[in-house]
């Protein structure tokens, strides 16, 4: 059940690489990665969840193993990334799924969810933001570049592409640095160092400002549709602050906030704990379960073995 398949599909003229695991008859979960990573960031969580869910984790154009056309051939904006992932969803004929979002996965995923709410069974938010109070001071050099892109502010933005900063994104705020594999930040740096990839990342940095005016749209979606929502952010993240994670309860009355003791890439250290919380939360909300069967759980929230899954 833990076998992962590595696949590629052409979407919008771009080869989109994705990881797939689990039984296709079980509830689907779409995992959208953040900067500067790829679907590789979900490798451990996919292993943890593949016995219970059908998991799909794509790499965006310009990231990981997906095609990385030049900015003259593909528009690197969050609107366009969301459009490509929306077309990816259609190409795979996904009709309902749990949407998991980290970092860039937020602005990509929240666009899709608010535009196509019928697709969403539940939201899982990990170090992704939809509230201004969640924006940390560590983003200030990026804000300066967005507001006034020039040679000087570009230097500050390029710092996010440096090996030291990429490693910092993985290690800052962790409970135990020795549990953070260097594989994640080393692989991310390999992809960032490819010829021309800096221009792709800078284009997305400049476009990041388009996300903030949409916060009200996303919050309106939350209030209207009340999607079952779990927030499992690393509480020590300096980019997207814990107060921003707690803010989801302002608009989603039953949102579950289960902050983990870690940083921006908290799954590197806490994927087992995260998986347990995810399973408990989704089972509690009946995602993928036949309503004709009684769902029971023990004191630890473990589901009874006779519960049967229905097709997602």
CATH of the domain at 87: 3.40.50.1820
- The dihedrals phi and psi of 64, each to the nearest 5 degrees, come to 55, -135
Per-residue pLDDT, 288: 53
Is residue 299 over pLDDT 90? no
CB proximity list for 221: less than 8 A, separation 6 or greater: 110, 113, 114, 117
User: Per the domain annotation, does 71 fall within a domain?
Assistant: yes
pLDDT band per the 50, 70, 90 thresholds, residue 57: very high
Q: Name the helix (H) or strand (E) containing 26.
A: none
User: Per the domain annotation, does 164 fall within a domain?
Assistant: no
**Hey, what are 229's tokens?**
């929502």
User: Per the domain annotation, does 165 fall within a domain?
Assistant: no
Instruction: Give the whole-angstrom CA distance, residue 116 versus residue 196.
Output: 33
Is residue 117 over pLDDT 90? yes
For residue 45, how many other CB atoms are within 10 A of its CB? 22
> Which domain does 227 fall in, by range?
4-135+211-284
Q: Model pTM?
A: 0.92
Which residues are bridge partners to 32 per DSSP? 101
Instruction: Give the whole-angstrom CA distance, residue 257 versus residue 282.
Output: 14
User: Per the domain annotation, does 31 fall within a domain?
Assistant: yes
**Hey, what are 178's tokens?**
């020795």
- pLDDT (mean) for 186-196: 98
Go through the chain and tell me how many residues it has: 312
**Hey, what are 236's tokens?**
């020590």
Per-residue pLDDT, 172: 98
Active site residue 264: yes
Mean pLDDT of the chain: 93
For residue 95, how many other CB atoms are within 10 A of its CB? 12
User: Per the domain annotation, does 122 fall within a domain?
Assistant: yes
Q: Name the helix (H) or strand (E) containing 18.
A: strand 14-21
- Contact (CB, 8 A) for 254 and 246: no
Residue in 33, 40, 264, 271 annotated catalytic: 264
- pLDDT (mean) for 118-143: 98
Question: 3-state class of 19 per DSSP?
Answer: strand
More confident residue, 1 or 302: 1
Helix extents (H) in 92-228? 105-115, 140-147, 151-158, 163-171, 182-192, 197-207, 215-225
How many structural domains is the chain composed of?
1
Per-residue pLDDT, 1: 57
Is residue 301 over pLDDT 80? no
- Contact (CB, 8 A) for 18 and 57: yes
CB proximity list for 132: less than 8 A, separation 6 or greater: 212, 215
Is residue 312 over pLDDT 50? no
Instruction: Give the whole-angstrom CA distance, residue 93 versus residue 90.
Output: 5
Is residue 273 over pLDDT 80? yes
pLDDT band per the 50, 70, 90 thresholds, residue 177: very high
pLDDT band per the 50, 70, 90 thresholds, residue 292: very low
User: Per the domain annotation, does 206 fall within a domain?
Assistant: no
Per-residue buried b or exposed e for 229-239, using 16+ beta carbons within 10 Å of the residue's own CB: bbbbbbbbbeb
Is residue 293 over pLDDT 80? no
Please name the residue that has the structure tokens 């792709």.
200
């Amino acid at each position: 059940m833990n076998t992962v398949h590595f696949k590629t599909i052409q979407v919008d003229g771009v080869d989109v690489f994705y990881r797939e695991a689990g039984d296709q008859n079980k509830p689907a979960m779409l995992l959208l990665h953040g900067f500067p990573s790829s679907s590789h960031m979900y490798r451990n969580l996919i292993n943890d969840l593949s016995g219970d869910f059908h998991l799909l984790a794509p790499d965006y154009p310009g990231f990981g193993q997906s095609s990385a056309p030049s900015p003259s051939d593909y528009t690197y904006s969050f609107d366009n990334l969301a459009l490509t992932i929306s077309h990816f969803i259609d190409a795979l004929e996904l009709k309902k799924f749990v949407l998991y979002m980290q970092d860039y996965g937020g602005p990509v995923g929240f666009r899709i969810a608010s535009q196509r709410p019928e697709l969403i069974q539940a939201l899982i938010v990990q170090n992704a933001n939809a509230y201004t109070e969640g924006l940390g001071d560590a983003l200030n050099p990026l804000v300066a570049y967005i507001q006034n892109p020039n040679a000087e502010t570009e230097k500050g933005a390029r710092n996010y592409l440096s090996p030291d900063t990429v490693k910092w994104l993985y290690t800052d705020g962790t409970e135990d640095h020795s549990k953070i594999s260097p594989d994640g930040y080393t692989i991310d740096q390999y992809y960032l160092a490819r010829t021309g990839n800096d221009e792709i990342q800078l284009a997305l940095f400049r476009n990041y400002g388009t996300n903030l005016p949409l916060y009200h749209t996303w919050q309106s979606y939350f209030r209207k549709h009340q999607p079952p929502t779990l927030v499992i952010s690393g509480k020590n993240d300096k980019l997207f602050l814990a107060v921003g994670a707690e803010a989801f309860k302002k608009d989603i009355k039953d949102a579950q906030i289960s902050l983990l003791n870690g940083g921006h890439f908290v799954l590197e250290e806490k994927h087992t704990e995260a998986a347990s919380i995810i399973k408990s939360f989704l089972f509690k909300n009946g995602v993928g379960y036949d309503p004709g069967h009684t769902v029971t759980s023990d004191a630890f929230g473990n589901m009874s073995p006779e519960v049967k899954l229905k097709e997602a």
